[in-house]
Amino acid sequence: MKTIVIIQARIGSTRLRGKILKPVGDSNVLMYVTKRCSQIKGVHEVIVATTSMPQDDAIATWCLENNIRCFRGSENDVLSRFVDCAKEYEPDYVMRVTSDCPFVDYEMASDIVELMTNENKDIVLIDGEQPRGLAVELISYQALLHINIAGKEERHREHVTYYAYEFANEFEAVIYKAPTNRNAPKLRITLDTEEDYALIYNVAKHFNNPLVSSVDVIQYLNNHPEVANLNSHIEQKPVI
């Protein structure tokens, strides 16, 4: 089974411009994400998929300097960017990761790849209440092609896999039961605002290790509510 990771990335975030190149630890957010994705077992390639906009030249340059594969495509039609990127690698499965998740759980992602290797379904659904910012999505390339044809609404084009959840009856899913030590739904470990950045900066400074286990990150935040509360009031933007 050939599985690739596609990390969607762009400079033009509406709430925190340039967030993925902000410094954390001894590097930056995008370095944390790519390093952690490279640790996912069973993955053949890790690709950063950015846009063809001039403002994202900085991402392409960073990838070149750090020997990271990079693809450039549509800014707003993220689904077509994923499909066009994946087409070059002819994978069986595509794992979707967003670049604003510097502590993406590569251990749980490895388990998800192993599960799909055994089950060979269209998509993995995660049963559990993890903090926002840890989970990945794994979908078959054929299912992604189907979504690209059937998904006509703006939300389908922007959120890549959203169609598969909205029209779940069109796909065969396998359930991944997340370990209980990941259950911490009140924690927010993703980067969208200055408050999010303050939390992530503090966590990275404490561990100074881009490969720290997500379990340790959760435990640290549970033990340090003064850090966890830095962004506890932030609400995720709704899907429209």
Query: Most distant CA pair in the chain: distance in Å?
Result: 47
pLDDT at 188 over 80: yes
Q: Which residues pair with 176 in a beta bridge?
A: 126
Instruction: Look at residue 236 in the predicted model and tell me its pLDDT.
Output: 78
Helix (H) or strand (E) holding 126: strand 123-127
Structure tokens at 168: 């779940």
Check residue 160 and give left, alpha or beta (phi > 0: left; psi -120 to 50: alpha). left
Instruction: Look at residue 19 in the predicted model and tell me its pLDDT.
Output: 94
Quick one: average pLDDT of 18-35? 96
Question: Alpha carbon 74 to chain centroid distance?
Answer: 18
Q: Which of 224, 232, 219 is nearest to 188 (CA)?
A: 232
Quick one: average pLDDT of 1-23? 91
| pLDDT, tens digit (0-9, with 9 covering 90-100), for 129-184 | 999 999 999 999 999 999 999 999 999 999 999 999 999 999 999 999 999 999 99
| pLDDT, tens digit (0-9, with 9 covering 90-100), for 50-73 | 999 999 999 999 999 999 999 999
What amino acid is encoded at 119 in this protein?
E
Query: What is the reported pTM?
Result: 0.96
Q: Which of 231, 79, 225, 237 is nearest to 162 (CA)?
A: 79
DSSP state of 25: T
Q: Across the chain, what does the average pLDDT equal?
A: 96
